[in-house]
Amino acid sequence: METTLIILKPDAVQRGLMGRVISRFEDKGLQIVGMKMMTISKELAAKHYESHHGKPFYNGLVSFMTSSPVLVMAIRGMGAITVSRKMMGATFGSKAEPGTIRGDFGVSSSFNLIHGSDSPEAAERELGLFFAKGEVQEFKRAGEVWVYDMSGGKPE
- Which residue numbers are catalytic? 115
Determine the Cα–Cα distance for residues 114 and 136; give it in Å rounded to an integer: 20
What fold is seen in the domain 2-132? Alpha-Beta Plaits (3.30.70)
Per-domain boundaries in the chain: 2-132
Please give the chain's pLDDT, 156 residues, in tens.
999 999 999 999 999 999 999 999 999 999 999 999 999 999 999 999 999 999 999 999 999 999 999 999 999 999 999 999 999 999 999 999 999 999 999 998 889 999 999 999 999 999 999 999 999 999 988 888 888 887 887 777
pTM for the model: 0.93
Nearest alpha-carbon partner for 67 in 12, 139, 129, 5: 12
